[in-house]
């Protein structure tokens, strides 16, 4: 950029102020944050809320205009004069690593952000001795999150005290408060962040964005409330994207199909900058490229690459859908190579005897993979569908049927803190809860997680109601307000129930422990003489409810010596291990080989998410997750042209499915409780997305395998499918 002139905008009706990046350069105390630098030598560019030298992707902010109304601000922004000198674009991560490729950040002299490796066992020996080697290359296309509610921020300044309150459509109010304090210099104690009921996130709101930092600085600078609400077009350009990686995976196996070793190599597009966890997202799948299968040697390598595109970051599943896709596609390729049914090859390789330390080094807590596979096969009536497939092929039907499996393994919780520290993640994995009985018997539950569609108010109230013997309508779950709730680590990575929910459970236990002491004192019995059930203590014909005890704890007229008044307890939970959901998903597709159209006609999902707190909530999470995973397989793709312009800049040409595009899902469940927490829960928010993409693509390839098609890039659009069929036929 040679010139950024905001002067014309200042003359527009209603304009209060306008600033370029240079005008606000002194306001920033730090770069926009990246909390996960995988290696000591990770290249981290300075990420300013407004750029001052180069616009490195279409969507990079160059100026800000503040006006009395949104319309006036938008009209005035059109008057800002920016002179650009065109720079060459590089949108493909592999091309970005080639000699002579345009460099996104001149300071580094390379587009490589980092290379991270994980290895265990003698991989070279296993491949050298292997009877069968499978080598596959898969492309994870770039995706755009589409939460129902766009991003938005409102900041109210209080000039007399220097305090600021920010309302933001964010997944991470607590993390946002810490990091925005660092970026803007607003003291953390004077910054309140509120995330009200947020309409979806899927990882896109697991970030601290330029607009939040700008709103804080402008409110402080102007002494006036500041509001910004994203348009859908702005969201497509400047809110993070997901996936975008090239995967190379190799399996070393015996002639029977027993896998001995896995080797995976990723080339991942970071985009132009590092958002909150951009470099770490591929690492969340680093341990899972062997999937639910028992191998003795393992090698993983990932290279992050800068490109002139919107930054990527966590998108529902974050690294784990990518890993599952690679291993599940590869294991089907192995089945074809050794001439076995994909069900048989999976059974041959399943992990068993839990807890089980897998080759990549982590310990899987519990599971019974044969059980959920058996349940899914029964729900599908597998033999009948295979029979239909065979009959169609025998009569040369132009509509082929395919069956695709995904027997996934997921690690949930993004904890414990000690492991996060070992992999250089810049935050902990713990979470906190406080439970408070009010004198009238109402219960307040204050949590450190922050829901945006996960039903925390339902499930957490259910946990508390079961333990304290109060009705749901007497429980208030408070979240997303840093001035009210305990410090927490927010919501992402399917961690809310497995970490935050356990903090709630343990805090409720402490309430019961204190109430027991009060009940024993007032009933004049020993604590061990009390029976407790449904919020009621009984002994020797006497009884006290938790509500009665709460009132007496408030009056404090008759408490045990040395006991503090009130009935309130807090707990901070940091798990000892991840939790490990698993399951079998089966997709059945029908493909019109004359048009390439793919119809998903059945979808069966049997998941083991540990103990289920609320079946309806679990089903809802699976429905949404599966739909997003199916969308990656069949419809969604963010496309850039060679000059770095986003072609799919709206829902006109970025295809987001509705309920009409998917069948009714057939759900089942098995249960192996997790031993890592007292509730035995494992997490469910991302399982559907993790499993479904591979299941659908395996079904597409299975449908076309008799015609010689062994691979199709995602999304499997009618044109791609039609071309694949015609190319093989010719």
Tens digit of each residue's pLDDT (9 = 90 or more) over 222-237: 999 999 999 999 999 9
Read off the pTM: 0.97
End-to-end CA distance of the chain: 50
Q: Give the pLDDT score at 413.
A: 87
How does DSSP classify residue 22? T
Closest listed residue to residue 205, CA positions, set 285, 291, 315, 109: 315
Mean local confidence (pLDDT), 676-696 = 97
Are 454 and 205 within 8 A, CB to CB?
Answer: no
Give the pair of three-digit tokens for residue 11. 């003359």
Report pLDDT digits (tens) over 78-126: 999 999 999 999 999 999 999 999 999 999 999 999 999 999 999 999 9
* Structure confidence at residue 645 as a pLDDT band (50, 70, 90): very high
Are 117 and 423 within 8 A, CB to CB?
Answer: no
Domains by residue range for the chain, with CATH:
3-87+146-238 (3.30.365.10), 367-411+580-730 (3.30.365.10), 427-573 (3.30.365.10)
How does DSSP classify residue 453? S
Three-class HEC string of 386-400: HHHHHHHHHCCCCEE
Q: Give the pLDDT score at 414.
A: 85
Q: Give the pLDDT score at 515.
A: 98
Alpha-carbon span 536 to 485, nearest angstrom: 28
3-state secondary structure (DSSP) of residue 421? helix
Report pLDDT digits (tens) over 125-159: 999 999 999 999 999 999 999 999 999 999 999 99
> Hunting for tokens 């009238």 — which residue is that?
440
State how far the alpha carbon of 135 is from the alpha carbons of 293, 405, 471, 709, in Å: 17, 19, 57, 16
pLDDT of 729 higher than 90: no
> Hunting for tokens 């901070």 — which residue is that?
572
3-state secondary structure (DSSP) of residue 420? helix
pLDDT of 629 higher than 90: yes
Give exposure, 136-148, as e/b (b: 16+ Cβ within 10 Å). Answer: bebebbbbbbbbe
pLDDT of 382 higher than 90: yes
Are 349 and 293 within 8 A, CB to CB?
Answer: yes
> Hunting for tokens 């899914």 — which residue is that?
376
Report pLDDT digits (tens) over 503-541: 999 999 999 999 999 999 999 999 999 999 999 999 999
Beta bridge partners of 143: 242
Alpha-carbon span 590 to 571, nearest angstrom: 51
Are 69 and 14 within 8 A, CB to CB?
Answer: yes
pLDDT of 499 higher than 90: yes
Q: Give the pLDDT score at 477.
A: 98
> Hunting for tokens 């409780």 — which residue is that?
673
Give the pair of three-digit tokens for residue 278. 């951009």
Report pLDDT digits (tens) over 409-454: 999 988 899 999 999 999 999 999 999 999 999 999 999 999 999 9
Beta bridge partners of 112: 305
Q: How far is CA 454 from the centre of its chain?
A: 12
Report pLDDT digits (tens) over 386-405: 999 999 999 999 999 999 99
> Hunting for tokens 């709101």 — which residue is that?
205
Report pLDDT digits (tens) over 282-337: 999 999 999 999 999 999 999 999 999 999 999 999 999 999 999 999 999 999 99
Q: Give the pLDDT score at 459.
A: 97
Give the pair of three-digit tokens for residue 727. 């190319």
Are 168 and 176 within 8 A, CB to CB?
Answer: yes
Is residue 432 exposed (0-12), middle (13-18) or buried (19+ Cβ within 10 Å)? Answer: buried
Share of the chain above pLDDT 90, in %: 99
- Strand ranges for 563-635 from DSSP E: 567-573, 582-592, 598-608
Q: Give the pLDDT score at 113.
A: 99
On average, the pLDDT of the chain sits at 97
pLDDT of 730 higher than 90: no
Is residue 517 exposed (0-12), middle (13-18) or buried (19+ Cβ within 10 Å)? Answer: middle
DSSP for 350-399 reads B--SSSEE-TTS-EE----HHHHHHHHHHHHTHHHHHHHHHHHHHTT-SE
Share of the chain above pLDDT 70, in %: 100
3-state secondary structure (DSSP) of residue 670? coil
- Strand ranges for 272-317 from DSSP E: 297-306
Give the pair of three-digit tokens for residue 526. 């020993």
Q: Taking CA 284 as the corner, what is the angle to CA 281 and CA 286, rounded to the nearest 5 degrees?
A: 115
Four-residue CA torsion sign, 456, 457, 459, 464:
positive
Q: Give the pLDDT score at 147.
A: 96
Q: Give the pLDDT score at 647.
A: 98
3-state secondary structure (DSSP) of residue 665? coil
């Amino acid at each position: 950029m040679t010139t950024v002139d905001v002067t014309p905008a200042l003359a527009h009706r209603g304009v209060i102020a306008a600033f370029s990046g240079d005008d606000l350069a002194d306001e920033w105390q730090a770069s926009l944050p990246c909390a996960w630098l995988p290696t000591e030598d990770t290249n981290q560019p300075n990420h300013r809320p407004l750029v001052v030298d180069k616009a490195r992707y279409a969507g990079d902010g160059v100026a800000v205009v503040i006006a009395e109304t949104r319309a006036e601000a938008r009209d005035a922004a059109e008057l800002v004069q920016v002179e650009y000198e065109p720079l060459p674009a590089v949108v493909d991560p592999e091309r970005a690593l080639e000699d002579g490729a345009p460099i996104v950040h001149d300071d580094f002299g390379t587009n490589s952000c980092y290379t991270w490796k994980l290895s265990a066992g003698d991989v070279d020996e296993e491949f050298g001795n292997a009877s069968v080697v499978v080598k596959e290359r898969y492309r994870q296309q770039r995706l755009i999150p589409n939460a129902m509610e766009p991003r938005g921020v409102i900041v109210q300044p209080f000039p007399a005290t220097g305090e600021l309150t920010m309302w933001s459509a964010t997944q991470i109010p607590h993390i946002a408060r810490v990091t925005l304090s660092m970026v803007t210099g607003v003291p953390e104690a004077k910054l309140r962040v509120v995330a009200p009921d947020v309409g979806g996130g899927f990882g896109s709101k697991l970030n601290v964005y330029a607009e939040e930092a700008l709103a804080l600085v402008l409110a402080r600078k102007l002494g006036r409330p500041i509001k910004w609400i994203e348009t859908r077009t702005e969201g497509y350009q400047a809110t993070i994207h997901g996936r975008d990686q090239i995967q190379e995976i190799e399996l070393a196996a015996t002639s029977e199909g027993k896998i001995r070793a896995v080797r995976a190599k990723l080339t991942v597009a970071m985009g132009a900058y590092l958002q909150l966890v951009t470099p770490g997202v591929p690492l969340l799948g680093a341990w899972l490229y062997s999937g639910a299968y028992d191998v003795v040697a393992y090698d993983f390598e990932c290279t992050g690459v800068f490109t002139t595109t919107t930054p990527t970051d966590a998108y529902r599943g974050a690294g784990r859908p990518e890993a599952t896709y690679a291993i599940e596609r590869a294991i089907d390729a192995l089945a074809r190579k050794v001439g076995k049914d994909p069900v048989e090859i999976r059974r041959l390789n399943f992990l068993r005897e839990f807890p089980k330390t897998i080759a990549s080094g982590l310990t899987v807590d519990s599971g019974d993979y044969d059980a959920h596979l058996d349940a899914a096969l029964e729900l599908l009536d597998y033999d009948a569908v295979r029979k239909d497939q065979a009959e169609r092929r025998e009569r040369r039907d132009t509509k082929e049927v395919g069956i695709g499996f995904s027997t996934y393994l997921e690690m949930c919780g993004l904890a414990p803190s000690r492991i996060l520290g070992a992999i250089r993640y810049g935050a902990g994995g713990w979470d906190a809860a406080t439970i408070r009985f009010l004198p009238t018997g109402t219960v307040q539950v204050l949590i450190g997680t922050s829901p945006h569609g996960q039903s925390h108010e339902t499930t957490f109230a259910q946990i508390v109601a079961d333990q304290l013997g109060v009705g749901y309508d007497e429980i208030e779950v408070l979240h997303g307000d840093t001035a009210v709730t305990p410090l927490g680590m927010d919501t992402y990575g399917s961690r809310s129930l497995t970490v935050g929910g356990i903090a709630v459970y343990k805090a409720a236990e402490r309430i019961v422990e204190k109430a027991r002491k009060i009940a024993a004192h007032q009933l004049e019995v020993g604590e061990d003489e009390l029976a407790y059930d449904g919020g009621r203590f009984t002994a020797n014909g006497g009884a006290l409810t938790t509500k009665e005890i709460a009132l007496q704890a408030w009056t404090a007229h008759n408490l045990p010596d040395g006991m503090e008044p009130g009935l309130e307890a807090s707990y901070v939970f940091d798990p000892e291990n991840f939790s490990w959901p698993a399951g079998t998903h089966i997709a059945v597709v029908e493909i019109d080989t004359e048009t390439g159209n793919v119809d998903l006609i059945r979808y069966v999902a049997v998941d083991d998410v540990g103990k289920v707190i609320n079946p309806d909530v679990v089903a809802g999470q699976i429905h949404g997750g599966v739909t997003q995973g199916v969308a990656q397989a069949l419809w969604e793709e963010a496309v850039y042209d060679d000059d770095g312009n986003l072609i799919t800049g709206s829902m006109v040409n970025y295809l987001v499915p509705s309920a009409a595009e998917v069948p009714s899902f057939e759900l089942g469940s098995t249960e192996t409780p997790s031993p890592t927490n007292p509730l035995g829960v494992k997490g469910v928010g991302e399982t559907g997305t993790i499993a479904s993409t591979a299941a659908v693509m395996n079904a597409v390839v299975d449908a076309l395998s008799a015609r010689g098609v062994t691979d199709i890039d995602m999304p499997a659009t009618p044109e791609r499918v039609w071309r694949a069929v015609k190319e093989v036929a010719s």
